[in-house]
Amino acid sequence: MTQITTANTVQMTMIQAINDAMKMELERDENVLIFGEDVGHNGGVFRATEGLQETFGEHRVFDTPLAESGLGGLAIGLGLQGFRPVAEIQFFGFMFETIDSIANQAARMRFRSGGKFHSPITFRSPYGGGVKTPENHADSLEGLMLQTPGVKVVIPSNPYDAKGLLISSIRDNDPVIFLEHMKLYRSFRAEVPIGEYTVPIGVAKVVREGDDVTIITYGAMVHTSLDAAEKMEKEQGIKAEVIDLRTISPIDIETIVKSIQKTNRAIVVQEAQKTAGVAAEVMAQINEEAMLYLEAPVLRVAPPDTVYPFAVIEDVWMPTPSRIIEYVNKMMNF
């Protein structure tokens, strides 16, 4: 249960913050609709929508038949009717079933209609490794979304950002893919303001300051990177700056460049396999915008280019603090 700590904030887990954001928006705007598999009476497989149908009724919060493509089309049709759909894809590994609605339809709606129609849809979806899911549940597929012009991709790493970014996503008049790392749902609590506030889409955040190296990351890897940074400072005196991208499409290159101007070294940490994807894109943009500030090539810490593995080896597959430290040292000694 949430526990009130001060007059204006409460301690919340990320899943509670996400639930709270949807509740605020359902209250604020009668056009907001929440739907997906099991999101109604059951409150979602992770309880993200718990209590919402009870409070707002079945005409606002409802179950869909078990068909991810169908629910994508439903969202587009409802968007055309002036609704603001928040559609849950139960696990992002199932997004391949929805991809036509996302990439061919929602992402192109504004263009195809010359601005006449739009798709103000938030596709919420759990993703991410380290929680021993069956196959096709944990994959980091966000890189595929980077090559989809017309959508924004948001990935919060903590309860405060999750609530503020989800409210921003729901209010956005363009499609937003809002990815929720499963490992972060209940792993810790943090202070979250009561009532509404927004965190802007497309703005990264420096979550730890430092002068020696910039670690650029997002999602659960923010915490892995922070662990690595603490250890490096304690054991080696290396002060790492950590940037939480928060939005991976578009990428806030300005915050990255500003940091590199100070640290002259950058490393990107991602949970997705190495090739292409967010890390590659960040490196490309650094190459375009900050090459002359660099004292060493930008490196990336990422799992090997395999499919997401079965649960028994996922913890060694994903980047660990010690692997991040190894790469940072390689760069410091360049």
Partner 1 sequence: MSQSTVQVYSDHSKVLSILDKDGKIINHDLFPQLSNERLIGLMKKMVFTRIWDERAIKLNRQGRLGLWAPVSGQEASMIGSEDALSIEDFILGSYRDIPQIVWHGLPLYQSFLYSRGHQHGGQIPEGVNVLMPQIIIGAQIIQAAGVALGFKLRNKKNVAIAYIGDGGTSQGDFYEGINFAGAYKVPAIFFVQNNQYAISVPINKQTAAETLAQKAVAAGIKGIQVDGMDVLAVHKAVSDAAERARNGEGPTLIEAITYRYGAHTMAGDDPKRYRNKEEEDEWKQKDPLIRFRKYLNENGLWNDIEEELVIEEAKKAIAEGIKMADETPKMTIPTLIDSMFEQTPLHLEKQKAEFIAMEGN
Catalytic residues, which ones?
137
Q: Is 117 or 188 the residue whose CB approaches partner 1 more closely?
A: 117
3-state SS string for 209-244: CCCCEEEEECCCHHHHHHHHHHHHHHHHCCCEEEEE
195, 194, 190: which is closest to 207 by C-alpha?
A: 190
- 217 vs 266: CA distance, rounded Å: 11
* Identity of the residue, 100 or 209, whose beta carbon is nearer to partner 1 in the bound complex: 100
Residue from 51, 54, 111, 188 touching partner 1 (CB under 8 A): that is 111
Q: Looking only at residues 258 through 287 of this chain, which bind partner 1 when binding is defined by CB under 8 A?
A: none
Structure tokens at 150: 């017309």
From the list 11-19, 115-123, 160-168, 190-198, the region that binds partner 1 by CB under 8 A is: 115-123
Phi/psi-derived region of residue 150, left when phi > 0, alpha when psi is between -120 and 50, beta in every other case: left
User: How many Å apart are CA 115 and CA 167, to the nearest integer?
Assistant: 23
Residue selected from 149, 236, 275, 316 as contacting partner 1 according to rule CB under 8 A: 149
Structure-token pair, residue 252: 């806030």
Question: Closest CB to partner 1 among 264 and 285?
Answer: 285
Residue 100 within binding range of partner 1, rule CB under 8 A: yes
Binding flag, residue 116, partner 1 (CB under 8 A):
yes
Q: For residue 116, give the DSSP letter.
A: S
DSSP H/E element including 69: helix 68-80
- Which residues are CB-contacts of 189 (< 8 A; sequence separation ≥ 6)? 11, 12, 13, 159
Distance (Å) of CA 231 to CA 45, 237, 282, 300: 36, 9, 25, 19
One of 10, 24, 75, 207 touching partner 1 (CB under 8 A): 75
Q: Which of residues 78-97 bind partner 1 (CB under 8 A)?
A: 78-83
Q: Applying CB under 8 A, does 57 fall inside the site for partner 1?
A: no
Q: Does 250 bind partner 1 (CB under 8 A)?
A: yes
Residues 157-176 that bind partner 1 (CB under 8 A): 172-174
Q: Which is nearer to partner 1, 110 or 186 (CB)?
A: 110
Angle between helices 277-289 and 253-263 (to 10 degrees): 70
Give 191's contacts (C-beta < 8 A, 6+ positions apart). Answer: 5, 6, 9, 10, 11, 160
The span of 20-28, 127-135, 146-154, 306-314 binding partner 1 (CB under 8 A) equals 146-154
**In the bound complex, what is the minimum distance in angstroms from residue 109's beta carbon to partner 1?**
9
User: Scanning the structure block, which residue is given the tokens 């089309």?
Assistant: 73
Select from 21-29, 110-118, 139-147, 259-267 the region that touches partner 1 (CB under 8 A): 110-118
> Among residue numbers 308 through 327, which ones bind partner 1 (CB under 8 A)?
none
248 binds partner 1 per the rule CB under 8 A: no
Decide whether 26 or 71 has the Cβ nearer to partner 1.
71
Q: Indicate the residue among 51 and 149 with the shorter CB distance to partner 1.
A: 149
> Of 6, 42, 67, 322, which lies in the binding site for partner 1, with binding defined by CB under 8 A?
67
* Shortest Cβ 250–partner 1 spacing (Å): 5
* DSSP 8-state class, residue 149: T
Neighbouring residues of 134: CB distance < 8 A, sequence distance ≥ 6: 311
Q: Which residues bind partner 1 (CB under 8 A)?
A: 33, 59, 64-65, 67, 69-83, 100-101, 104-105, 110-118, 149-150, 152, 172-174, 202, 250-251, 253-254
